[in-house]
Amino acid sequence: MIPWLYDYLKETTGNDIQLLRYITSRAGMACVCSFVVSLIVAPPIIKRLIAMKAGQPLRTAEEVNELAQLHDSKVGTPTMGGSIIVLSVMLSVLLFARLSNPFVLVVVFVFIGLSFVGFLDDYKKVKRKNSKGISAKTKLSLQILVSLVAGLYLYLNKDTSEFITKLYVPFNKNPIIHDMGFMCIPFFVLIVVGCSNAVNLTDGLDGLAIGCSISVALAYAALCYLVGNQQLGEKYLLIPHSRFAGELTIVCLALVGSGLGFLWFNCHPARVFMGDTGSLGLGGAFAALAICSKHEILLIVIGGVFVMEATSVILQVLSFKIRGKRLFRMSPIHHHFELKGWHESQVITRFWILSLLCALIGLATLKLR
């Protein structure tokens, strides 16, 4: 809406209002807007979820043993709080971003699409009053469908196809693959599905996933701005350039503002959980941002905590199947540290620190080319 207003005023009156033109100013306004909207809409949404008895169904003592005692106080805390994030982000994007931008459309589509998949899962859990939502097969199929549609759009769009079919790796200024062709689509599906599930696995403690998400969103805000700025990005840092990428800075900072607002209510002890509604949507958005900025491989570094959480689950399953023994006391790994005696707040804060360090390391690689 704001970009449209800028274009309209410039065309009809000749006034060039710089505040409405620059990406940096609109991104800052989007961040503040999503933060304020989160603070405003969260209390009535939380109240409504409590009235609906949409409490987070926790796993039973038979399923998680001693962890059930540590998390006993969380019983009844409303879930589906990811709707707060979705509402605040979308309002900010609608107000401050150019919706004609193909990259913005893709990120928004993946974000909303996977948030809806997460909502279906949360709703089933609440309705059944247990931790089992939609089947794993159904959830995976829907995730693949959303990412497949997004990948096809980018590949078939003549404005984006040449850019997104290249593959870059850190420390190398030139693409290692100049044209992945149609194979870029399954590659994108893998990234979106993997990242969305990794964030979902991280969402097990108060504020853990959203705190780490803020670090990742900030890092990709910087990356997208640089990729969209030819002078700073392509000529100085020698990173790939796309004229569409800069607008994604607004989406990233909308995620940051919304995340900070949600954290206000999700910090320990949490008044609301984001549920799959939030975690799947956020993970999908980060994957789409990585794809559109051509820093997919760097997502492994920037989202290091998410990777660590997902890897711990994979290793735990493999260890149990091959050796008949668990590698960790429990997975994802944040529960391992809880059972080792770390207080929940210690686990959360230390993981936040790791996430911030991962984001900084990821950004530092931009100069090493």
Per-residue pLDDT of the chain (369 residues; tens, 9 = 90+): 677 666 656 667 766 677 777 899 999 999 999 999 999 999 999 999 988 877 766 555 444 566 666 666 677 789 899 999 999 999 999 999 999 999 999 999 999 999 999 999 999 888 877 767 899 999 999 999 999 999 999 999 999 999 999 999 998 888 999 999 999 999 999 999 999 999 999 998 999 999 999 999 999 999 999 999 999 998 899 999 999 999 999 999 999 999 999 999 999 899 999 999 999 999 999 999 999 999 999 999 999 999 999 999 999 999 999 998 899 989 899 999 999 999 999 999 999 999 999 999 999 999 887
Q: What share of the chain is helix, strand, coil (3-state, %, to 5)?
A: 75, 0, 25
Dist CA 266 CA 85 (whole Å): 12
Question: Sign of dihedral through CA atoms 78, 82, 86, 92?
Answer: positive
| Bridge partners, residue 325, by sequence | none
Residue 292 near residue 109, CB atoms below 8 Å: no
The owner of tokens 């593959």 is 167
Distance CA 279, CA 38 (A): 16
CB atoms within 10 A of CB 156: 10
334-362 confidence digits (pLDDT tens) = 999 999 999 999 999 999 999 999 999 99
How far apart, in Å, are the Cα atoms of 82 and each of 103, 112, 349? 23, 11, 21
**In this structure, what are the phi and psi dihedrals at residue 177, rounded to the nearest 5 degrees?**
-130, 120
Residue ranges per domain, the chain? Answer: 26-367
What is the distance between the alpha carbons of residues 49 and 54, in angstroms, rounded to a whole number? 5
Nearest to 200 by CA among 188, 216, 213: 213
How many Å apart are CA 240 and CA 234, to the nearest integer? Answer: 6
Instruction: List the structure tokens of 343.
Output: 């207080």
Please compute Rg for the chain using Cα positions: 21
Answer for the pair 102, 69: CB distance below 8 angstroms, yes or no: no
Phi, psi dihedrals of residue 293, rounded to the nearest 5°: -95, 0
pTM: 0.93
Listed in order, strand segments (DSSP E) in the chain are: none
